[in-house]
Structure 1
Amino acid sequence: MFVADRRLALGYRALAAVVIGWGVGRVTGLFDGRFAGAELLYFTVLSNILCLAWFALLAVVTGRELRVRGGRGPSAPWPRVSGAVMMAITVTMLIYLVVLVPETFVQNSSYTPFTLTDDLIHIVTPVLTILDWVLFVPKGSFRWFDPLLWALIPYAYLVFAFAYGALGGRFGAGTSYPYPFMDVQALGVGGVALWIVVLTVALEVVAYLYVVVDRALGALARRRSGRARVS
């Protein structure tokens, strides 16, 4: 249940790295000489950098396997790590689409969503990452406890962001919090905690959906392989 062609995988991964790097360069101002280091304090940008590093690594490994083993066959090192990266960027996409964008319309914010840069880092990067798993990663490696491990990435960011703000750090807009649902002054500790619990539950549901799909496709592939050997 995957494309067993290292040439296609290499081309896809190299192109994905270029596109993701373009988005990261745009949001941080690298391409117009106004580097905005404060953008690196946001989970959105950090998760995109994680994907950029992951695709660069995948491209290197795939290229090496192509030289050594030839064009036919899988190139999917550390499939469970691919799940963690995929879930981290899924968090970015879903919070943007379900929480941040609707809030801008409700509050009549001056912020304009769905610009090219926003689309690249919030939508294109997640789609590229999910498609890489769909197309090139053999299925059946995910474990039922993996979503709990994957949650450590966004939770590590929460710890960093709250600690940074509490110590006097300021994010890009001059606030002590990176995202509105983390605004303790406006929502109170209970309100922020409720937001985090609700988002955690919702995102874990999505994570377990990935696991269910992975295991179902893996089981289907094993049955087909078994029937092929018998025949």
Structure 2
Amino acid sequence: MKFAVGDTIELDHLVFSVQDRFLENFITSSEFDENNYFFIINSDYANLLTLTPNYRIDLLNASAKTIRITVTDFNPSKATEIANAIAEEFMIYDAERKVQSAKKILTFINDQLGEVYTRLKDSESSIRDFKKENRLADRQDIAQTYIARLNELETEKSKLEVQVNLLLELKKNIDKENTGVDINQLMPVLAGTEFESKVEQQIIQLQNLVMRRNNQLTSATTENPTIIIYDQQ
């Protein structure tokens, strides 16, 4: 692309103008010719290759949900802009992730409630059949004892089934390796259950390991000894 002095050029992510400040010094220089005065605007991919080794993201405190963004560049203003841009994008991503997590949890709870309701209806039908088959209609005391006990067993069974499903959901989320372990998706599923306090620290430790592993993968392959150690943990 060729530009004249004074032109304003608008690109997808850049607007600039060509000014004649100090241009005369170049033109009158003995080393000047038409091929010497040019500049290159890097592509997004070229910028990515240059910038990727120069930034790092660390998890400072999983419980407090804080991270540290470090950007290294010879231009402090540029490093600040990149760090702020990463932080802004992370906050947008984090908000979207939490919304998706909340929707997923609500779907899971609704599914569990639907299954429990269906089982309760089936239990009511079974109890009616049991009373009819054993002629308990006229023996209310015995009937109420049996029914109360059956209700207790059914309630306990429902609780155990929900707990099993919670653990299966937890395992499914941990097994996902696309973007690493996400505590925002795991902990809300366990909120209010007896498992919450028992596995919270293990999940946080696992998340820390995954984040360190992913940071290492920016400069190493999966065959790297350090990555293999993380995978074994």
Structure-1-length-normalised TM-score: 0.27
Which structure's residues are more often helix, by fraction? 1
Higher alpha-carbon Rg: 2
Which structure's residues are more often strand, by fraction? 2
